[in-house]
Amino acid sequence: MKKIVYALMATVTGLVLLFSYRTSTVPESTSALADAPSSGVATVPKTTPSPSASASSGSSSTSSGSSSAQTSSSGLTDGTFTGQVANTRFGPVQAQITVSGGAITDVQVPQYPSESGRDQQINSRALPVLVKETVQAQSAEVDMVSGATYTSTGYRTSLQSALDQARA
């Protein structure tokens, strides 16, 4: 009888420990947004022409073009919007969108990790893919790029910040 009680207690203890184990955690990079100043602005080549794609990289939100802002059925206001800097494990990532006619027409990445040769290699491949998918999806719901998880996560976080500004 004692053996059955010990076996039952061990089973219950094992189940409690198994169900209390957390299988996933949120990485620090997705929750860390900061208004850090730009250092060494780098851009990704434009995927489509835009009427006005220049803005100062140090501001958190700028609107260029005409002074009368238009909001379309998509809910996006025309202009250029710079997302907050997302600090990742390998460096800051920042996205800037240009909205024309209520659609995202251009995406720039003023800040991204580029300290090492490996950072440059990864981001020269990942950023054009992320930019292309953003213009196609017209949202921050873009796939992560394999091998560039931290950059992809920071990009999506900053992009969502820019989209939130365009909807405001």
Please, what are the domains in the chain? 27-167 (3.90.1010.20)
> Per DSSP, what are the bridge partners of residue 98?
80, 106
Predicted confidence at residue 2, as pLDDT, reads 87
Backbone angles phi, psi at 100, to 5 degrees: -140, 130
In degrees and rounded to multiples of 5, residue 71 shows phi and psi of -115, 125
Residue 113 structure tokens: 């990790």
Averaged pLDDT score across all residues of the chain: 76
pLDDT of 31: 40
For residues 62 and 166, give the distance between their C-alpha atoms in angstroms, rounded to a whole number.
10
DSSP codes of every residue in 3-19: HHHHHHHHHHHHHHHHH
Q: Which of these ranges, 63-67, 81-85, 111-115, has the smallest mean pLDDT?
A: 63-67
Sign, CA dihedral 32-36-39-43, equals positive
Cβ of 139: how many Cβ atoms within 10 Å? 14
The fraction of the chain above a pLDDT of 70, given in percent, is 68
Looking at per-residue pLDDT, the higher value among 139 and 27 belongs to 139
pLDDT digit string (tens) for 13-53? 989 888 887 765 544 443 444 443 333 344 444 444 333 33
Instruction: Tell me the one-letter amino acid at 75.
Output: G
